[in-house]
Amino acid sequence: MLAVGYYASAVPVTLTVDGLPRYVRTHQTSVEGVLREADIRLHPQDLVAPPLNTPLVAGSTIRIQLARPVTIEADGRSVELRTQRRRVADVLAEAGIHVKPSDEVLVDGQVWNLDADLPQAMASQAIHRGPGLANALNAPAPVRIVLHRAVSVILTDGGIPVTFYTTQPTVGEALLAQDISLYLGDRVTPSLGSRVLPDMRVYIERSLPVSIGADGQTLRTRTQRSTVGEALAQEGVALVGEDYSLPAPDTPLSADMAIRVVRVREEIKIEQETIPFETNWVPTSTMAIDSQRAEQPGGEGLTKRRLRTVFQDGQAITQTLEDEWIDHPPSTKIIAYGTKVSVQKLETPDGTIEYWRHFRVLATSYSAATSGKEKDDPYYGITRTGMKARYGIIAVDPKVIALRSEVYIPGYGKAVAGDTGGSILGRHIDLGFDEETPPLWYRWVDVYLLTPKPPANQIRYVLPNWPQER
């Protein structure tokens, strides 16, 4: 009962720490007594309201605002403090640290804005000892602030020096942070992996963009070289033999220059052309007329020529005749033909005939009506020799059978070569008939040339071999 009475006589107090309320009962008469009873040890930077010597009354509220523990690493030293400041810039100013706009601030390992507040406080450990206040007071976790001082870098890009400030550790990262684009062909001095030092001078030698067209492909690249030839060598594009480039290899490079490589090759080709052989006809009096004998076979000759063709990118540009010669000459064909004429006799249904020559011919038929002239034409039915077209008058090739010669055709009879025709050439004769519609002839027959034999100088010993009998 005494314990119950003692507890009932305690005064109720609200204890609020960093905005979190806790309700306790106490027999202490002042704020300081309550904190001492709870064994709460505060730091000078912590705030308590009302003041420690304030008397307690029932329902009093004690508010405690704990200071944040902060560790600051800057300028090669470490500073620890407790602060009621919330804005990072104010915390650094409280520690006497001046921050430049280009400096970089990290709060708990993350890049932080100077005007931003510290991260929300997280409890780390209980700081009470007294009964009745379990979990009432928890210390906020410490905050680690790291200050990276920006250093100046003097960048020369395109011949104009520009100063910027950076907190990046390497040259490459510093340029990237400045949104400076680099190409593979660009040269950076010092190298991109070099550590950034205060007042460092960095030089960028820009490469030139060029395109190289070669072997059916176009290569776009960048180069620090000064001439076309050096750019080709850089990309492993070789000029071989008569190859050349447009522009020429010693041409200075310029931005966006288009370089074309022309591949040149030569091709040597041997062409040949046959040389026809000639035929010599040799008369032989010991051989019968219309007989022949090959004395020497003919052979074609061969002419050769050497041609040099120049190709550019696969297209023929020039062709030059370098040499021409006769590989071997043709050989003349020699044929002996008979000139011996013997008069012979032949029994026919029309009686015995005497002839001095006979050979095969193609015989067709015609009449005055089929000669191509109208009946009212004054030359209707008039032959080449002036005789009237009729039976017994035949058309011949005068170079084979002389006009006005008498002949005999088996199945037709005797006739006179009295006419010619546009299609009557070589071994072809046309048999005349009286009828307007002559009987149809179209067959090979023997024709006999009747005596008397003409003079030797009027005989054509070698006759055409056309048309040919199948």
Domain closes at, from 309, 337, 365? 337
DSSP conformational letter for 4: H
The DSSP result for 285-307, as a single string, is EEEETT-EEEEE--B-EEEEEEE
The reported pLDDT for the residue numbered 470 is 86
Task: Convert the pLDDT of each residue in 21-68 to its tens digit.
Answer: 988 889 898 999 888 888 888 899 999 999 999 998 888 999 999 999
Task: Assess contact for 222 and 205: CB atoms under 8 A.
Answer: no
> Which residues, 6 or more positions from 193, have their beta carbon under 8 angstroms from its beta carbon?
170, 171, 172
Cα 467 from Cα 469, distance rounded (Å): 7
The reported pLDDT for the residue numbered 58 is 86
For residue 418, report the phi and psi dihedrals to the nearest 5 degrees: -120, 5
Short-list 19, 15, 67, 66, CA closest to 37: 15
Beta strand 11-17 with 60-65 is: parallel
Looking at the domain assignment, is residue 358 inside a domain?
A: yes
| Domain match, 234 and 359 both | no
Q: What's the number of domains the chain is made of?
A: 5
| Domain match, 446 and 366 both | yes
| Domain match, 280 and 310 both | yes
Sheet arrangement for strand 292-296? 279-288, 333-340, 292-296
- Which CATH number do you get for residue 183? 3.10.20.90
| Domain match, 110 and 237 both | no
| Domain match, 414 and 286 both | no
Looking at the domain assignment, is residue 99 inside a domain?
A: no
- Which CATH number do you get for residue 346? 2.40.40.10
Task: Assess contact for 133 and 62: CB atoms under 8 A.
Answer: no
29 beta partners? none
| Domain match, 275 and 232 both | no
What pTM was computed for the model? 0.53
| Domain match, 8 and 129 both | yes
Short-list 379, 370, 349, CA closest to 438: 370
DSSP conformational letter for 109: T
- Which CATH number do you get for residue 298? 2.20.230.10
Tokens read off for 363: 């015989």
| Domain match, 352 and 393 both | yes
Task: Assess contact for 265 and 317: CB atoms under 8 A.
Answer: no
| Domain match, 346 and 333 both | no
Domain closes at, from 243, 259, 275? 259
| Domain match, 129 and 24 both | yes
Looking at the domain assignment, is residue 116 inside a domain?
A: yes
The reported pLDDT for the residue numbered 155 is 97
Task: Convert the pLDDT of each residue in 386-422 to its tens digit.
Answer: 999 999 999 999 999 999 999 999 999 999 999 999 9
Task: Convert the pLDDT of each residue in 342-401 to its tens digit.
Answer: 999 999 999 999 999 999 999 999 999 998 889 999 999 999 999 999 999 999 999 999
Looking at the domain assignment, is residue 376 inside a domain?
A: yes
Residue carrying structure tokens 């011996």:
340
The reported pLDDT for the residue numbered 6 is 63
Please identify every stretch of the chain with a pLDDT value under 70, giving residue numbers as ranges.
Answer: 1-8, 122-138
| Domain match, 157 and 248 both | no
Residue 183: CB atoms within 10 A of its CB come to 11
| Domain match, 254 and 125 both | no
Looking at the domain assignment, is residue 255 inside a domain?
A: yes
Residue 324: CB atoms within 10 A of its CB come to 12
Give the range of the structural domain holding residue 369, as residue numbers without chain letter: 341-458
The reported pLDDT for the residue numbered 445 is 98
The reported pLDDT for the residue numbered 3 is 56
Task: Assess contact for 107 and 57: CB atoms under 8 A.
Answer: no
